[in-house]
Amino acid sequence: MQERHPVRPWEIGLVLVVLTVVAGLAAFWVLLDGGPLLEHSGRSIQDSLLLWKRLQGGLGFEADDYPPLASLVSCAFYGLFGPSRLVAVFSQFLFLIPYLVGCWWIGRELGGRGGGALTLLAAGGNPWMSSHLHGYYLEIGTTALVALAFALLLASRGGRQAGPTLALGVVAGLGMLSKWSWLLFVGPGLLWPVGVAWKAGARIRPLLGGSLACLAFTLLMLLASAEEASRGFPWFPFGLCLLAWLLVGALGARAWRRDGWNPAVGTALAWGLAFAVCGWWYFLSAWELQTKASGDAGQGVAAWFSLTRLVATLATSTWGAPLWFALGSLAAVRMRDIRVPTLAALGGIALCLGFYAAWQVPPGARYALPATVLVLALSFGWWGRFRKPALLLGALLVGVGWLQIGSWTLAAEGPGSHASPDLTRIGRMVRIAPPPRSGPPVEPTALRLLGELEGTDEREITAILLPGGRLDPDVLILESILRGRELDIRHILPTDSARPVRTSLLLVVGEIPEQAPWLEDFRLLESWEAPDWGAWSLLRKRAPSNPDGSEGGVSGTSQEGPRARPGADRSRLPAGE
- 576: confidence class by pLDDT, cuts 50, 70, 90: very low
The residue with greater pLDDT, 417 or 373, is 373
Residue in 107, 88, 108, 144 with CA at minimum distance from that of residue 5: 108
pLDDT at 552 over 50: no
pLDDT at 437 over 60: no
Give the integer Cα–Cα distance in Å for 255 and 309.
48
pLDDT at 89: 93
Give the integer Cα–Cα distance in Å for 414 and 421.
10
pLDDT at 314: 84
Residue 488 pairs with which residues in a beta bridge?
460
Give the integer Cα–Cα distance in Å for 480 and 424.
33
Residue 538 pairs with which residues in a beta bridge?
507, 526
Q: What is the DSSP string of 342-378?
A: HHHHHHHHHHHHHHHHHHT----GGGGTTHHHHHHHH
- 572: confidence class by pLDDT, cuts 50, 70, 90: very low
| List of E strands, 51-106 | none
- 366: confidence class by pLDDT, cuts 50, 70, 90: confident
Proportion of the chain above pLDDT 70, given as a percent: 84
Residue 575 pairs with which residues in a beta bridge?
none
Q: CB-based contacts of 62: which residues, under 8 Å, 6+ apart?
A: 54
- 490: confidence class by pLDDT, cuts 50, 70, 90: confident
Residue 410 pairs with which residues in a beta bridge?
430
- 452: confidence class by pLDDT, cuts 50, 70, 90: confident
pLDDT at 538 over 80: yes
pLDDT at 139: 95
pLDDT at 405: 57
pLDDT digits (tens, 9 = 90+) for 97-111: 999 999 999 999 999
| Average predicted confidence (pLDDT) for the chain | 83
pTM here is: 0.84
3-class DSSP state of 170? helix
pLDDT digits (tens, 9 = 90+) for 133-152: 888 999 999 999 999 999 99
Residue 138 near residue 416, CB atoms below 8 Å: no
| Residue ranges per structural domain of the chain | 9-403, 442-541
pLDDT digits (tens, 9 = 90+) for 45-82: 988 998 999 999 999 899 998 999 999 999 999 999 99
Average pLDDT of the residues in 292-306: 69
CA dihedral 370, 376, 381, 382 (to 10 degrees): 120
pLDDT at 426 over 60: no
pLDDT at 575 over 60: no
Average pLDDT of the residues in 203-213: 94
Proportion of the chain above pLDDT 90, given as a percent: 48
Give the integer Cα–Cα distance in Å for 181 and 255.
32
pLDDT at 48: 92
pLDDT at 416: 34
61: left (phi > 0), else alpha (psi -120 to 50), else beta?
beta
- Phi, psi at residue 537, to the nearest 5°? -125, 130
Average pLDDT of the residues in 414-419: 34
pLDDT at 282 over 70: yes
pLDDT at 431 over 70: no
pLDDT at 214: 97
Residue 526 pairs with which residues in a beta bridge?
538
pLDDT at 424: 38
Residue in 462, 575, 452, 471 with CA at minimum distance from that of residue 525: 452
Residue 47 near residue 71, CB atoms below 8 Å: yes
Average pLDDT of the residues in 258-279: 96
- 298: confidence class by pLDDT, cuts 50, 70, 90: low
The residue with greater pLDDT, 222 or 482, is 222
The residue with greater pLDDT, 311 or 554, is 311
The residue with greater pLDDT, 291 or 245, is 245
Average pLDDT of the residues in 160-178: 97
Q: What angle do CA 251, 254, 259 make, to 5 degrees?
A: 120
pLDDT at 243: 97
Residue 269 near residue 249, CB atoms below 8 Å: yes
pLDDT at 410: 40
The residue with greater pLDDT, 475 or 250, is 250
